[in-house]
């Protein structure tokens, strides 16, 4: 398995989940953060279009969270919430609300308003077209993703892409494992873990 966090990994994990754990649903809403290297990447969006072109879904809507939601402050607050949650007994929603309210010293927990949204939608009825809304109640714009009219979308997307073989460990890392880690590994598995 490749440990890269790019679009190939996002698409592969999403595809694996949908193929192995999906319930046959034909409509899908996906909520993503604004990570341009992963979720907003053109290949991830192409994958969503590919699913509708192959009739794996009839419609997919991709929702992007407001920019800046993953900055330090929210992560810090979730860390405080997680710490309080681990020390609390939660048996109902009110218990969870109490945990949230008492997770900061000054009890300052405000909900954030969504000032900017982007919604992307793909539909099997409009193959090769991406629909974009810049805000929830705004007009929907259409963009053509498929420009080659010589072959149909079904012909172009009939097969799965080639599998990317994992790169393996670099030689320097293997030498380090042999020299520094292998002595601490049980003899029966040394050749597998530190060859």
Average pLDDT rounded to a whole number, residues 20-49: 77
Question: Higher confidence at residue 106 or residue 147?
Answer: 106
Average pLDDT rounded to a whole number, residues 90-118: 68
Note the pLDDT of residue 155.
58
Question: By 3-state DSSP, what share of the chain in percent is helix, strand and coil, each rounded to 5?
Answer: 40, 15, 45
Burial profile 48-63: b = 16 or more Cβ within 10 angstroms, e = fewer: bbbbbbeebbebbbbe
Question: Higher confidence at residue 147 or residue 163?
Answer: 163
Give the Cα separation of 99 and 87 in Å (integer).
Answer: 9
Q: What percent of the chain has pLDDT over 70?
A: 70
In the numeric block, the tokens 């604004």 are attached to: 34
CA angle 59, 62, 63 (to 5 degrees): 140
- 5-22 tens-digit pLDDT: 677 788 888 888 998 998
In the numeric block, the tokens 């929702």 are attached to: 63
Give the Cα separation of 82 and 18 in Å (integer).
Answer: 29
In the numeric block, the tokens 């030498």 are attached to: 175
- Average pLDDT across the chain, whole number: 75
3-state secondary structure of 149: coil
pLDDT at 3 over 60: no
Spatial CB neighbours of 189, under 8 Å, sequence gap ≥ 6: none
Give the Cα separation of 140 and 9 in Å (integer).
Answer: 30
Of the candidates 144, 122, 149, the one whose C-alpha atom is nearest the C-alpha of residue 49 is 122
- 38-97 tens-digit pLDDT: 545 678 888 888 888 888 899 988 877 666 555 545 566 777 888 888 898 877 777 888
Give the Cα separation of 96 and 94 in Å (integer).
Answer: 5
How far, in Å, are 63, 91, 130 from residue 6 at the CA level? 19, 38, 22
Of the candidates 5, 105, 125, 103, the one whose C-alpha atom is nearest the C-alpha of residue 55 is 125
Of 33-37, 72-76, 149-153, 168-172, which gets the smallest average pLDDT?
Answer: 149-153
């Amino acid at each position: 398995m490749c440990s890269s966090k790019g679009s190939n990994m996002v698409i592969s994990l999403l595809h694996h989940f949908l193929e192995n754990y999906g319930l046959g649903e034909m409509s899908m809403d996906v909520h993503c953060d604004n990570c341009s290297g992963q979720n907003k990447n053109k290949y991830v969006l192409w994958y969503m279009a590919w699913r509708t072109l192959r009739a794996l879904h009839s419609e997919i809507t991709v929702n992007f969270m407001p920019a800046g939601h993953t900055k330090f402050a929210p992560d810090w607050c979730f860390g405080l919430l997680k710490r309080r949650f681990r020390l609390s007994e939660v048996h109902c929603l009110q218990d969870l609300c109490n945990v949230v309210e008492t997770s900061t010293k000054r009890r300052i927990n405000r909900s954030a308003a969504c000032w900017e949204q982007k919604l992307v939608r793909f539909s099997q009825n409009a193959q090769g077209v991406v629909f974009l809304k810049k805000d929830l109640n705004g007009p929907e714009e259409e963009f053509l993703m498929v420009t080659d009219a010589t072959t149909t979308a079904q012909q172009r997307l009939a097969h799965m892409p080639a599998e990317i073989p994992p790169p393996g460990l670099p030689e320097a890392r293997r030498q380090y494992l042999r020299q520094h880690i292998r002595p601490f590994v049980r003899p029966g598995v040394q050749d597998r873990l530190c060859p």
